Amino acid sequence: MSTIEVKGLVKRYKELIALDDFSLSVEAGEVFGLLGPNGSGKTTAINCILQLLTYDRGEIRLFGETMSPTRYDLKRRIGIVPQNVAVFPQLSVEENIGYFCSLYVDSAVERRGLVDQAIDFVGLEEFRRFRPRKLSGGLLRRLNIACGIAHRPELIFFDEPTVAVDPQSRNAILEGIQRLSASGSTIVYTSHYMEEVQQLCSRIMIMDHGRAHATGTTAELTSLVGLDDRVEIELPADPEFADKGLEIARVLPHITQASLNGNTLRVSCARASRALAEVLAALDDAQITYGKVYSEPPTLNDVFLEITGKELRD
């Protein structure tokens, strides 16, 4: 049974189609990454799933049951960490977490324990009596997370939780999400930081213009778009050797693309390990010396740009 099952979701803002026949399936225990440029429909999709926004068509099932605005029993099993920090400036860290936890948990005794655990989880123990205005950006983000997870939800939506935080806080947040996942929570994670998504998520959906363009693991997405590995070889500064090296590389069988950037030879190939050996052997045969050699597989960023295009968005 899928934790989230969305089928054919359509959401229009007058003429603009925000979600265009959007479908999604997230399995229990998964960390699911939702990637897309600004305005691609990620947050709209989440808000529709949570019944905060109306939608024109489609079916949404959570935990195997049809979701509706009054399914408070289902809502109690969900946590949300919104994009913007959503806490009360008038309440302390402890009070904020306690308040939001009270929206889900009735028992005061149980809640007290959950609040302590949430504070401990995000490492805000020494700030528990602080008001939000006295917290740094990173601490605020951690408070934002604590407010969303204190009631121990089975399904948690993280909507760009690491925006504008320092590397230490970011690292702490990512570790926390991994711990939540390890404890069995299903997580939907949206971000613009590709390396985060690649690090955290077991499956990723790339969406744009309200549509799901591709879904799968990083490897599946890479193979889906047919991106090759990249190899970069530093050649002698003499242009004659560089040009000769380019000519050699172009005729090798596993090389799909070759180019020069100054005296650096760039080649694309299906499998870097095999192609690299061939290129280096050919250069040796031609008595062309070389310096540093780099080899890297295609990144999620490459996949993302390949799917969504390189033109600037808002």
Partner 1 sequence: MRTAFVYTVKILVRDRAVLLWAVAFPLILSSMFYAVFSNLDQIYTLGRMPVLVVQDDNYAGAPQFATLIDQLGVDRSSDPLLEPTFVPTEAQARDTMADQDFLGFIQVTSTGKPTYVMDPGRVDGSADVMDPTRQSVILTLLDRYSQDAAYVADLAKTDPSKLADPALLAALSGHTDFTQPISATTNPVSDTVRYFYAALAFSCIMMMSFGLSAVSSWKADASPVGARRSLGGQSWTRSLAPTLAAAWLLSFICVLIGFCYIRFAFGISFGGKEWACVAVLALSTLVSTLVGALIGAINAPTGVKSGLTVLITCVLSAFAGLYGPPSQKLGDWVAVHLPGLSVINPVRQVYEAFYNLYYYDSYSRFTEKVIILAITAVVGFVVCVAVMRRTRYRSL
- Per CB under 8 A, residues contacting partner 1 are 13, 47, 50-54, 69-70, 72-73, 75-78, 80, 82-88, 90-91, 95, 98-100, 102-104, 108, 111, 147-148, 151
Cβ(198)–Cβ(262) below 8 Å: no
- Closer residue to partner 1, CB minimum distance, 98 or 298: 98
- Closer residue to partner 1, CB minimum distance, 102 or 264: 102
Find the angle CA(50)-CA(56)-CA(62) to the nearest 5 degrees. Answer: 30
Could you tell me how far CA 54 lies from the centroid of its own chain? Answer: 25
> Could you tell me the smallest distance in angstroms from the CB atom of residue 69 to partner 1?
6
> Could you tell me the smallest distance in angstroms from the CB atom of residue 111 to partner 1?
7
> Could you tell me the smallest distance in angstroms from the CB atom of residue 98 to partner 1?
7
In whole angstroms, give the CA distance from residue 246 to residue 242.
6
Cβ(93)–Cβ(129) below 8 Å: yes
User: In this structure, what DSSP letter does residue 22 have?
Assistant: E
> Could you tell me the smallest distance in angstroms from the CB atom of residue 122 to partner 1?
16
> Could you tell me the smallest distance in angstroms from the CB atom of residue 219 to partner 1?
34
- Closer residue to partner 1, CB minimum distance, 70 or 168: 70
Could you tell me how far CA 190 lies from the centroid of its own chain? Answer: 5
- Closer residue to partner 1, CB minimum distance, 13 or 292: 13
In whole angstroms, give the CA distance from residue 245 to residue 233.
10
In whole angstroms, give the CA distance from residue 210 to residue 6.
13
Cβ(118)–Cβ(79) below 8 Å: no
> Could you tell me the smallest distance in angstroms from the CB atom of residue 94 to partner 1?
11
Cβ(233)–Cβ(258) below 8 Å: no
- Closer residue to partner 1, CB minimum distance, 70 or 287: 70
- Closer residue to partner 1, CB minimum distance, 148 or 298: 148
In whole angstroms, give the CA distance from residue 190 to residue 293.
35
